[in-house]
Amino acid sequence: MEMIQAALGWLPMWLQVLMMIVLKIVVILIPLMLSVAYLTYAERKVIGYIQVRIGPNRVGPIGLLQPIADAVKLIFKEIIVPAGSDKLLFLLAPILAMAPALAAWAVVPFQPGMVLADVNAGLLYILALTSMGVYGIIIAGWASNSKYAFIGAIRSAAQVVSYEIAMGFALVGVLVAAGSLNLGQIVLAQSGSILHWFWLPLLPLMVVYFISGVAETNRAPFDLAEGESEIVAGFHVEYSGTPFAVFFLAEYANMILIATLSAVLFLGGWLSPFQGIPGLAEGALGAPSMLWLFIKVAFFLFLFLWFRATFPRYRYDQVMRLGWKVFIPITIVWLLVVAGMVVGELPPWFA
């Protein structure tokens, strides 16, 4: 870091700062894009394995180049813009879906002090940006001028708005427990040992948060926005080539984001699970590190794929019932419980 800063020393100050920020963004986004590519590969492999198949294994060793081949194929395909569509909005929609999924990474802490923007209202920023993603879907459905796309967009909008509430309440629980909106502070509030992490006192909220996250990213079993059996492919029926690829990227980037947030908010982010265990905590195992975060994220991503391979799609009224009549009451009740625990300074979490 210092070396790069020194190399840029001859530039005016504002340009130095700008270049450093751009550099950090690139350092975050390139691995993210690679993870997205290989998440699609992991998805096909995992679902294949669960269905007693082997998944892609032809392109490169054990199929490792498959995502590259897919990307190249999509990029070279023709971009078809339907005649009746609103061309500007039609091409803007995938960008609107993608941008919030990437921008949210600005406040995600990877390691102590390793965060692009150490914002005090980080949690609010995340909440605001994850809700923005739905605009891309609504605009895509509207601009396509196709009934399937439109129905998909309407469904997705209603679903995301309903689950936002449960998700928001789950985040309020974290906020109450940690006493801070800063994601780094939230992680630090969980330090101690694996039992100090928030997954234990906030277990129902963690479940609600993660399931709402699945619903929010329009993944199976909540993928009614796509619903290929009834509305073809939902909001992206009319998309092909690169714009379709961008929607695809947005969906998977959102999955990784939700998995990362679940890990940061409930599983202690970068904290080591061996912390606080005598004999194990002293060495490298006990040290906080980015690797622990990645392992936790991988666990949540595996759950995403496992869900998709296991559950059939919900019926629309069931989705709404689950969101409004199950999740919201659970989160409200548990918020009171958390508040009670914090006021009562219940050890070991809130003492």
Chain positions contacting other proteins, by CB under 8 A: 46, 49-54, 57, 306-307, 309-311, 326
- Compare residues 46 and 123 and give the one whose CB is closer to other proteins: 46
Q: Measured from the CB of residue 322, what is the shortest distance to other proteins in angstroms?
A: 10
**CB 233 within 8 Å of CB 153:** no
- Compare residues 31 and 60 and give the one whose CB is closer to other proteins: 60
Q: Measured from the CB of residue 53, what is the shortest distance to other proteins in angstroms?
A: 5
- Compare residues 44 and 196 and give the one whose CB is closer to other proteins: 44
Q: Measured from the CB of residue 54, what is the shortest distance to other proteins in angstroms?
A: 5
Strand partners, 114: 111
Q: Measured from the CB of residue 104, what is the shortest distance to other proteins in angstroms?
A: 28
Q: Measured from the CB of residue 208, what is the shortest distance to other proteins in angstroms?
A: 12
Strand partners, 111: 114
> Tokens for 256?
């990784």
CA nearest to 94, candidates 285, 242, 267, 297:
242
Q: Measured from the CB of residue 128, what is the shortest distance to other proteins in angstroms?
A: 30
Angle at 127 between CA 123 and CA 130, to 5 degrees: 130
**Rounded Cα distance, 229 and 223, in Å:** 11
Q: Measured from the CB of residue 55, what is the shortest distance to other proteins in angstroms?
A: 9
CA nearest to 69, candidates 80, 54, 55, 58:
58
CA nearest to 162, candidates 351, 324, 326:
324
- Compare residues 52 and 88 and give the one whose CB is closer to other proteins: 52
**Rounded Cα distance, 296 and 197, in Å:** 13
- Compare residues 57 and 145 and give the one whose CB is closer to other proteins: 57
- Compare residues 277 and 320 and give the one whose CB is closer to other proteins: 320
- Compare residues 62 and 99 and give the one whose CB is closer to other proteins: 62
DSSP notation for 102-170: HHGGGG---BTTB-S---TTHHHHHHHHHHHHHHHHHHHHHHTT-HHHHHHHHHHHHHHHHHHHHHHHH
